[in-house]
C-alpha cells in the first residue's frame, strides 16, 4: 500500500502561512463517507479523521492509504482550502508516486505525476506551488523505459528495449514495426553510436564493399571487403550484425590485415575472417589496420 504523499509535507494558506490546526479529511471517492487512513504500512493503526495538522502545517502522524480517496483540506475554521478526488490508487508498494498537488511542499527527490501524465522529480526545495509541467527550474522529467510491444504506437524519438535487451530509438511515429537494423522506423540507441559520422545509414547488403562509420546487416555469406585502413581515421568503426543462418566472410583490402584484439595472446593478424552464426561485431580502425572487437 502506498504512503500518502511525502512523509514530511507542509500545508499553507493562501498567504503562505503554515496551516496550524488545519484538517485533512479522507473520504470514499466521490462521496462524503469517511474512510480510514493508517499510521503504519501494515494498515493496523487507523488515524483520526480528520488528521489535524501541527503548528508548522505538517501532519503529526504518518498517513498510509488503502486504495483511493477523496481528500479535502480545511483550515482550523473549516474553510475549504482544496478538494482533490481521487487521490491514491493501487494498494501496492510498487506504486509509490502520487499526483502533484498545489499547496503541498515537496522535498528534493520527491517524484510526482503531473497533469500531463508524465513523471517529475523535485530538484529544489522547499518546492511549493511549482507546477512540474511549467517549472523546469524546480522539476526534472523522468522517462520510464518501455519494452517493445507490437500493440503500442510510439512517437518519434521514443527509446525502447527489445526482449533481447537492446535499445532502439523510433525515427518516426511507429506502430507494429519490430525494431531491426535496416528498419525505416527504428535505429539503435546505444552509447558509442553517437560518434558515427552518419547515424542515419543502416545498410542491408548481400556482398561487396563496406564503408566506415556505418551500420550493416549482412544478409548473405558475401564476401565483404573492408575499406583500406589508411583511408580511415583512428577510431572509425564498422558495426555488423547478420542473419542468424549465414556466416559472412569479411576480407581486408590490399595489404591490410585484421587483428583480433590488441593483447599479446590475441595479436594474430588475418586477411579475412568468417563471422560465425550469431556472432555480431565491431571493426575498429587504428589508421593502419582493422581490429575486430
Asked whether the predicted pLDDT for residue 90 surpasses 90, the reply is no
If one compares 85 and 190, the residue with the highest pLDDT of the two is 85
Banded model confidence at residue 125, pLDDT cuts 50, 70, 90: confident
Average pLDDT over residues 13-22: 89
Residue 191 has a CB neighbour count (10 Å cut-off) of 7
The per-residue pLDDT for 93 is 39
- How high is the mean pLDDT of the chain? 83
Closest by CA to 258, choosing from 222, 227, 279, is 227
pLDDT tens across 280-291, in order?
Answer: 788 989 889 999
Q: What percent of the chain has pLDDT over 70?
A: 86
* CA 217/CA 230 separation, integer angstroms: 24
| Pairing of β 80-88 and β 98-99 | unpaired
Which carries the bigger pLDDT value, residue 136 or residue 112? Answer: 136
Which pTM value belongs to this model?
0.39
Instruction: Write the CB contacts of 286 (distance below 8 Å, at least 6 apart in sequence).
Output: 229, 234, 235
Instruction: Give tens-digit pLDDT for 198-226.
Output: 444 667 788 899 988 888 888 888 899 99
Which residue shows C-alpha cell 550469431?
278
Give the model's pLDDT for residue 214.
83
pLDDT at residue 174 is higher than 50? yes
Rounded to an integer, what distance in angstroms lies between the CA atom of residue 181 and that of residue 188? 8
How far is the C-alpha of 121 from the C-alpha of 73, rounded, in Å? 24
Q: What is the pLDDT of residues 39-57, one digit of tens each?
A: 887 788 999 999 999 999 9
Pairing type for strands 98-99 and 290-292 reads unpaired
pLDDT of residue 192 exceeding 50, the answer is no
**Residue with C-alpha cell 535505429?**
187
235 vs 92 pLDDT, higher one:
235
* Residue 226 confidence (pLDDT): 95
- Is the bond preceding residue 275 a cis peptide, omega within 30 degrees? no
Find the mean pLDDT for residues 114-123: 90
**Has residue 8 got a pLDDT over 70?**
no
Q: Is the pLDDT of residue 168 over 90?
A: no
pLDDT (tens digit, 9 = 90+) per residue, 243-273?
A: 778 889 999 999 899 998 665 555 688 899 9
Mean pLDDT value across residues 157-163: 87
Amino acid at each position: 500500500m502506498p504512503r500518502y504523499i511525502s512523509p514530511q509535507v507542509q500545508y499553507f494558506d493562501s498567504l503562505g502561512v503554515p496551516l496550524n490546526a488545519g484538517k485533512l479529511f479522507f473520504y470514499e471517492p466521490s462521496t462524503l463517507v469517511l474512510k480510514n487512513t493508517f499510521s503504519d504500512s501494515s494498515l493496523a493503526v487507523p488515524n483520526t479523521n480528520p488528521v489535524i495538522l501541527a503548528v508548522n502545517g505538517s501532519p503529526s502522524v504518518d498517513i498510509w492509504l488503502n486504495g483511493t480517496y477523496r481528500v479535502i483540506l480545511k483550515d482550523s475554521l473549516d474553510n475549504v482550502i482544496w478538494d482533490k478526488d481521487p487521490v491514491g490508487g493501487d494498494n501496492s508498494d510498487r506504486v509509490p508516486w502520487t499526483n502533484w498537488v498545489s499547496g503541498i511542499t515537496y522535498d528534493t527527490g520527491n517524484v510526482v505525476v503531473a497533469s500531463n501524465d508524465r513523471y517529475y522529480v523535485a530538484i529544489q526545495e522547499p518546492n511549493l506551488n511549482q507546477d512540474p509541467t511549467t517549472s523546469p527550474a524546480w522539476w526534472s522529467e523522468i522517462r520510464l523505459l518501455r519494452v517493445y510491444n507490437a500493440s503500442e504506437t510510439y512517437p518519434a524519438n521514443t527509446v525502447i528495449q527489445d526482449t533481447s535487451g537492446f535499445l532502439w530509438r523510433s525515427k518516426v511515429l511507429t506502430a507494429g514495426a519490430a525494431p531491426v537494423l535496416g528498419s525505416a522506423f527504428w535505429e539503435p540507441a546505444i552509447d558509442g553510436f553517437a560518434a558515427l559520422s552518419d547515424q542515419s545509414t543502416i545498410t542491408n547488403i548481400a556482398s561487396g564493399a563496406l564503408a566506415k562509420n556505418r551500420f550493416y546487416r549482412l544478409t548473405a555469406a558475401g564476401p565483404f571487403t573492408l575499406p583500406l585502413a589508411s583511408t580511415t581515421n583512428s577510431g572509425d568503426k564498422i558495426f555488423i550484425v547478420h542473419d542468424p543462418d549465414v556466416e559472412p566472410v569479411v576480407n581486408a583490402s590490399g595489404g591490410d590485415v585484421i587483428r583480433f584484439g590488441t593483447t599479446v595472446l590475441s595479436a594474430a593478424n588475418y586477411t579475412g575472417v568468417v563471422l560465425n552464426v550469431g556472432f555480431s561485431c565491431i571493426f575498429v580502425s587504428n589508421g593502419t589496420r582493422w581490429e575486430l572487437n
